[in-house]
Amino acid sequence: MTREALLVVHSGRKANQEVAAGVVRRLAHGGIRLRIFADELLELPVDLPPGMEPIPVEPGPEAAEGAEVVLVLGGDGTLLRAAELARPAGIPLLGVNLGRVGFLAEADPESLDDAVTAVIEGNYQVDERMTLEAAVVINGGPVRRTWALNEACVEKTSRERILEVVLEVDGRPLTGFGCDGVLCATPTGSTAYTFSAGGPVIWPEVRALLLMPLAAHALFARPVVISPGSAVAIEVDARGYPAVLVCDGRRTIPVPPGARVELAQGELPVRLVRLREQPFTDRLVRKFALPVRGWRGAPTPPEPR
């Protein structure tokens, strides 16, 4: 039985194309054929014997169906693009960071060989990360739905306007204010947009949702951490200005005045490959280059006499 994996690559850079071509060749010789989007395959300098060459596919959820893993070469944006394909198929994602921070990626360029070896040997673990389901309800009628791995953001559409909203948790009003927007993030997303906005970092093992007002004109406009089972709604003032729902910076839905955005924990998680056990603290320090000089750790107990 032929083993297959899907390769998603940020192919706009020449260096990435060379790296991707090397990965294709090594996996092919390791017994794994790669599916690659047809337009990206044209940019990769790959020459393999018949039966080992990559399989061209078209973008869509079916591209990941039946694959062992989705291998992502790029930054967090590339991984979020790949998550749209992997999530409905339940296929794990293995990210190799070829971008800048690459917080979601498991491997960096210097550990690319280890990542490829793990795929060939099937030697890895899989974490499940919670997601958000989002629905835009317009005057109690039409509903449009989408989802997010990192965050769902209801934000204003005009820079010079203020967005008036009321927050609701579990069917009860919490507070209202004028603002630039409101974020609802998962623990995974706590190191993304909400981190840049000054929100807290939540360890991935913590099951919670994070509500984060953006530039709110209010005394009570602090980040709020709530139960993952809570239902959140953000209502846009019917007498105010329109907004837009943006999920992971990729999927957008207009939110007219008077509409509400309903958010809840998603039923389908995103599955991320982990190559080794690593404390989340170490990941934070490494990805954000946090200063830890002077740390000596717990005192060593004295030797028994």
Selecting among 47, 76, 127, 282, the annotated active-site residue is 76
Residue 284 is encoded by which pair of tokens?
């934070």
Cα Rg of the chain (Å, integer): 22
How does strand 125-129 pair with strand 172-179? unpaired
| Alpha-helical regions (H) of the chain | 14-29, 38-41, 76-89, 112-121, 193-196, 280-288
Cα–Cα distance between 100 and 25 in angstroms, integer? 25
- Is residue 93 within 8 A of residue 271, CB to CB? The reply is yes
Residue 188 is encoded by which pair of tokens?
């995974």
DSSP 160: T
Would residue 237 show up in a list of annotated catalytic residues for this protein? Answer: no
DSSP 294: T
Phi first, then psi, for residue 21 (nearest 5°) are -65, -40
Whose structure tokens read 């990206």?
40
How does strand 163-169 pair with strand 172-179? antiparallel
Catalytic residue set: 76
